Amino acid sequence: MILTHPKIDESIGNRIISNVIAKQENTEVRHLDKLYPDFKINIKAEQEALLKADTIIIQYPIFWYSTPAILKQWIDQVIQFGFAFGDDNYNLEGKKLIASFTIGSPVKDYPQEIIDKIIFHLQGLAEYCKMEYVGEIFCNDINGYSDGAKENAIKAANNHAQKLLKLINSF
């Protein structure tokens, strides 16, 4: 799992989801914000981690209809020509890619046509690198501004994690 959340300790959804996945056998969670707080990504280490994986989960919160900045930088630097694509070097070919994200806003603010736009770049990345884009799993209303909202967010995050596990275990 490639995890990014700049304030994971304050997170409800991404913290729960990544903790559930981290407990699974043969799973590694690479929290980019903790590994690279200075944004200086160890490209070789990240590429080696990808080579070991059969399934790659990108886990993040939606920030203004996009990914957190470090995930964009990670993609730009790690998914390189000659490693992930080009010159007949498709080292990620056949690996499964899952987009897993949380949204603080309610469902009505993110209809399917918006979700399709949000994940378009990950679908394109998978196709360009000859990976299998398995799909996306996401949940809305992940915020903890009140007691009721916090309880709902915990429930939604746990449901999200179970859906993710079910998908992973179906391979």
Which token pair is 111?
Answer: 């209809």
Tokens 């994940």: give the residue.
119
For residue 98, what are its two tokens? 């899952």
Domains of the chain plus CATH, in order, are 2-169 (3.40.50.360)
In a 13 Å sphere around the CA of 49, the CA atoms on its Cβ side amount to 19
The vertex-55 CA angle with 57 and 126, nearest 5°, equals 75
Tokens of 119: 């994940």
Q: How many helices (H) and strands (E) does the chain have?
A: 6, 5
pLDDT digit string (tens) for 20-71?
Answer: 999 999 999 999 999 999 999 999 999 999 999 999 999 999 999 999 999 9
* pLDDT tens-place string over residues 4-23: 999 999 999 999 999 999 99
For 91-98, what is the mean pLDDT?
A: 98
pLDDT of 148 higher than 90: no
Neighbouring CB atoms inside 10 A of 131's CB total: 23
Specify the pTM: 0.95
DSSP code at position 57: E
- How far is the C-alpha of 37 from the C-alpha of 76, rounded, in Å? 17
Q: In the chain, pLDDT over 70 holds for what percent of residues? A: 99
